[in-house]
Structure 1
């Protein structure tokens, strides 16, 4: 058998050379395009459905949200397992499909059932949503916003969180292979209207009156257009709130022909929702950061390289004294693993 192979190779030199060349080209192409990661992702084919309902206890979450979703998901074919977790203010249902079912097809089937069961769950209790197409190994890039020495008094935890949510997070979105940017730490900026009960009672004003006034006075409207000769003038009314003074000047009602403003019955200030944790780094106190989540099955090495390029551009957009400092980069771990394999083989 071996002699026949040698004899064939000698007679068909051109065929052997071309075959070898094609194999080399295919090997080089595979080497350049093959997804490389530090550890294998063994996550099964699953779709997660999350519903946030901040006011419900675990018992009500299970009865009013989790159970209806589980019943709806049990009607889907090619499902291997359905499991759920009901906690205070949170419902998480995991639907595990057979490996032969494509990811997008599985999500489409789940989405159809979500639309059906959404009518059974009161809107005020929360809206079921699917989690992004990622896994537990999708955290490929983690970073913090670092404040340069001398700028500590200029940027507090709330200001850094605002920079993260409105500048860094938005600029890092849209990278191929990235499905989500999660923010951590700091205080989520809110505009709070702290009403004074005695002032409301004395003026016979209810909380609903204040809420309705704030809602009506925070929107832009259009007034069509006016035609004059051969021109059309478009009418636009700007009523969006831009700062605390705008909120204070909103008229809630009239008493005896005198307008009652929000500032007469409440204190307007910046605030933040209650937190259940904080983010710290190197024992230097609280900080603000984010995590980039990778698409399931994407090439971690390529995605992190694109992230590094985008972060370099974001650095130029940040305010003076603030910079993005990564502390976990999957590509560094991948490169170290590759170096270890090469060293052991050689």
Structure 2
């Protein structure tokens, strides 16, 4: 052993340039490997899975189990290369997880699951979707929004319509989940006395709102060498647009929404809120990494 060590030392001293060059090559290779190696604090070692989330607002867990969860499980049982199923039914929410063999890739699993979901006869109001392909430890970034003079409703709009879209455009991002804030809505509050005076019912107002909140396609008008496109614009944008919608003509007088109801901005019922530090109501975003992506690059 001593002779071997002496030989190595002797060779290194006699060939300093070669040893130095070899050292540089090894260091460069190590740096390159470090930069290209995917880095995950908690590697995803679970089997390929597909999570099917169905929302049916206002329904009990028993109804979700009977009309949503069990039909989904029945269809998923025939999926090829499936190993097991897990499900949970909550108030207004059903979550079904389908596990596949190790050799099944995510895209195949999602495709076969999506095909089977199409066969499920969901009740009216139930909306099912497949969770983006992210691992259980795919939360790579959390943030909250702040803005001087901005309400949580305005910050929520910025999150949903600007930040969410830009983050999803980043390569390697599977999804962006938003929490907190107020989702803006337009609320029409009917006055029963005014409705009765015009012999109207709530359905009349509903039909008027539905009919007058849409654009209508038309045709073209040719005039000489010019062609003009004709279409009807009816999508509402403000509360005043809604107030001006005509419900019906009574004795030649148009009765509008504002004549029988009040229209104001409001927000959807909240199931909870997010707080940070001393601020009890903030808007938060969670960025999810797509499964198999390199966190150090994303």
Give the TM-score normalised by the residue count of structure 1: 0.76
Measure the CA separation in 2 of the matches of 1:171 and 1:30: 31
Structure 1 gap ranges (5+): 7-18, 304-346
Distance 1:197 1:134 in 2: 50
Give the structure 2 partner of residue 126 of structure 1: 126
Residue 285 of structure 1: SS of its match in structure 2? strand
Residue 316 of structure 1 corresponds to none
Q: Give me the whole-angstrom Cα distance separating, in 2, the residues matched to 1:47 and 1:284.
A: 36
Question: 1:242 offset after TM fit, Å?
Answer: 1.4
Distance 2:64 2:29 in 1: 54
Displacement after TM superposition at 1:84 (Å) = 0.5
* Contiguous gaps of at least 5 residues in structure 2: 8-21
Deviation readout 1:153-177 (Å, 9 max, x if unpaired)? x311111111111122122221111
Superposed, which structure 2 residues align to 1:61-140 within 5 Å?
61-117=64-120, 120-122=121-123, 124-140=124-140
Tell me how far apart the structure 2 counterparts of residues 100 and 26 of structure 1 sit (CA, whole Å).
32
How far residue 41 of structure 1 moved from its aligned partner, in angstroms, is 2.2
Are 2:240 and 1:239 aligned? no
2:43 — aligned with what? 40
SS of the counterpart of 2:280? coil
Q: Once the 2 structures are TM-superposed, how far is the Cα of residue 28 of structure 1 from its aligned partner?
A: 5.3
For residue 136 of structure 1, give the secondary structure of its aligned residue in structure 2: strand
Deviation at 1:24, TM superposition (A): 8.0
Larger Rg: 2
Residue 268 of structure 1: how far off its partner (Å): 0.4
Cα distance in 2 for residues equivalent to 1:268 and 1:104: 46
Q: Deviations over 1:80-117 (max 9, x none)?
A: 11010011111110001111111111111111111112
More strand by share: 2
Alignment root-mean-square deviation, CA? 2.3
Match of 2:15 in 1: none
Instruction: Confirm or deny that 1:219 pairs with 2:214.
Output: yes
Moved over 4 A (4+): 19-29
Q: Distance in 1 between matches of 2:38 and 2:265?
A: 46
Deviations 1:248-305 (A, max 9, x none): 01001121211111011111011111111111111223111211111012111211xx
2:185–2:267 contact (8 Å) kept in structure 1 = yes
| Counterpart for residue 252 of structure 1 | 247
TM-score for both structures, normalised by structure 2: 0.87
Distance in 1 of aligned mates of 2:137 and 2:192: 50
SS of equivalent to 1:302: coil
For 1:87 and 1:255, the matched residues in 2 are separated by 48
Query: Which residue pairs with 1:300 in the alignment?
Result: 295
Q: Trace 1:129-208 onto structure 2 (pairs within 5 A).
A: 129-147=129-147, 151=148, 154-208=149-203
Q: Where does residue 17 of structure 2 map in the other structure?
A: none
